[in-house]
Amino acid sequence: MRKYDIAIIGAGAAGISCALACKQKNPNKTIIILEQNDRIGKKILKTGNGKCNLGNVHLYETSYYNWNYIQNKMKQFDVIKYFKKMGIMTKQDEQGRLYPYSETAASIVDILRYELERQEIIVQCSFMVTNIIKDKNFIIQGMQDSIEAEKIVVATGSLAQEKTNGYQLLERLGHHITPLSPRLVPIKVEEKVKPLQGIRVKCLAKANGFQEYGEILFKETGLSGILALNLSRYVNKKDEIILDFAPEKSFLELKEYIKGLENRDLSMMLRGLLPKMLILDILKKADTIETIANMIKNYRLTVKDLYGYEFAQITRGGVDMAEIKEDFASKIIKNLYIVGEVLDVDGECGGYNLMFAWMSGSIVGENI
């Protein structure tokens, strides 16, 4: 059986950053990455609409679920410096989102692949790990082959637009997986919104204590757009979402404005405020100045469900963070490390999920 010092399962952002950091610090260690797909970094290619939103300069408590467990390491991680050290120049947009200067995700995967080759890290693609046995060392079993490693890093990612048995592998080793669900995903609503399909509108969205200003895109059966994706991290079935389509105006100001339009066709005049189909929808449901103004400020929708993993950017849930040390070592199994999205950590839109993957991967790589 082939034997390595370190085996990393998963050649995504977390697994690759772990391998590179580890080899840099320990050039004499033998490292192998096992990847079930026929090539590395497949998900990275999809990120940021193909532009790879690889990080963000802003960091808030609300940026991550389970922030308490990761805040110290996240605050220390300088993502711009991290890429600069790798020779990758980044650019920043007005929201602090970071992209490679080339604005192409493929360039990031190309450079990561080149760095893996340059540092002579073995990458075995089309190797799906089916079981891990902890003996004195770890025996990592695949469909055709098994390998042995002294230390292992599980970086198997999540169910969002991918298949993985990473959760089961870790459960069999004694870890607990918190409930899994798709997030950063469009939201299905109970109300009929088909007439509004295709409308993009800026609004303040509120639900379960969360509130954010941004753009909503109405879909045939629900809501999409970055704002809806971020909302999906805070809502579940039956929850109420309130959209304020005129957050800069108070209810009274809005009422006065509508009052001033008396004797004119509101379905025409209010088009200066909101898209035509939205106005028609509101006027169908409200017929007094008061109720119209109220509906513009408090447009209520009820969550029917979230769309599935095939539309999701991330998975909520994963390995229970109470079982993970601050350096991402397992508290349950010695010499096992767990990084990236397979953990019960998730971030909002804007580069936070990749940033966590780079950070957790490189922390383990440096300390393993």
Ligand X SMILES: Cc1cc2nc3c(=O)[nH]c(=O)nc-3n(C[C@H](O)[C@H](O)[C@H](O)COP(=O)(O)OP(=O)(O)OC[C@H]3O[C@@H](n4cnc5c(N)ncnc54)[C@H](O)[C@@H]3O)c2cc1C
Task: Tell me the closest approach of the beta carbon of residue 263 to ligand X, in angstroms.
Answer: 50
Task: Tell me the closest approach of the beta carbon of residue 72 to ligand X, in angstroms.
Answer: 20
Burial of residue 11 (number of CB atoms within 10 Å: 0-12, 13-18, 19+)? buried
Question: Residue 237 corresponds to which amino acid?
Answer: K
- Whether 53 contacts 351, CB under 8 Å: yes
Six token digits for residue 84: 């600069």
Is the Cβ of residue 95 or residue 302 nearer to ligand X in the bound state? 95
Is the Cβ of residue 278 or residue 342 nearer to ligand X in the bound state? 342
Residues that bind ligand X in the complex, under the rule CB under 6 A = 9-15, 34-37, 42-43, 46-48, 53, 128-129, 155-157, 160-162, 164-166, 313-314, 340-341, 351-354, 357
Whether the CA torsion 152, 158, 164, 166 is positive or negative: it is positive
Is the Cβ of residue 216 or residue 314 nearer to ligand X in the bound state? 314
Is the Cβ of residue 12 or residue 225 nearer to ligand X in the bound state? 12
Is the Cβ of residue 11 or residue 59 nearer to ligand X in the bound state? 11
Whether the CA torsion 101, 107, 111, 116 is positive or negative: it is positive
The strand pairing partners of 324, in sequence order, are 330
Is the Cβ of residue 245 or residue 328 nearer to ligand X in the bound state? 328
Alpha-helical segments (H) within 266-341:
266-269, 276-285, 289-297
Residues with Cβ within 8 Å of 26's Cβ and at least 6 positions away in sequence, in order, are 5
How many angstroms separate the CA atoms of 314 and 230, rounded?
11
- Whether 210 contacts 63, CB under 8 Å: no
Is the Cβ of residue 37 or residue 181 nearer to ligand X in the bound state? 37
Residue number of the CB closest to ligand X reads 12
Task: Tell me the closest approach of the beta carbon of residue 84 to ligand X, in angstroms.
Answer: 18
Is the Cβ of residue 113 or residue 271 nearer to ligand X in the bound state? 113
The bridge status of strand 31-34 relative to strand 2-9 is parallel
Task: Tell me the closest approach of the beta carbon of residue 151 to ligand X, in angstroms.
Answer: 17
Task: Tell me the closest approach of the beta carbon of residue 47 to ligand X, in angstroms.
Answer: 3
Task: Tell me the closest approach of the beta carbon of residue 96 to ligand X, in angstroms.
Answer: 13
Measure the N-to-C terminal CA separation of the chain; round to a whole number of Å.
23
Residues with Cβ within 8 Å of 230's Cβ and at least 6 positions away in sequence, in order, are 184, 210, 212, 214, 348, 349
How many angstroms separate the CA atoms of 328 and 340, rounded?
10
- Whether 95 contacts 214, CB under 8 Å: no
Task: Tell me the closest approach of the beta carbon of residue 235 to ligand X, in angstroms.
Answer: 19
Task: Tell me the closest approach of the beta carbon of residue 317 to ligand X, in angstroms.
Answer: 13
Is the Cβ of residue 281 or residue 320 nearer to ligand X in the bound state? 320
How many angstroms separate the CA atoms of 319 and 342, rounded?
6
Task: Tell me the closest approach of the beta carbon of residue 146 to ligand X, in angstroms.
Answer: 13
How many angstroms separate the CA atoms of 190 and 187, rounded?
10
- Give the CA dihedral 344, 348, 352, 357, nearest 10 degrees: 20
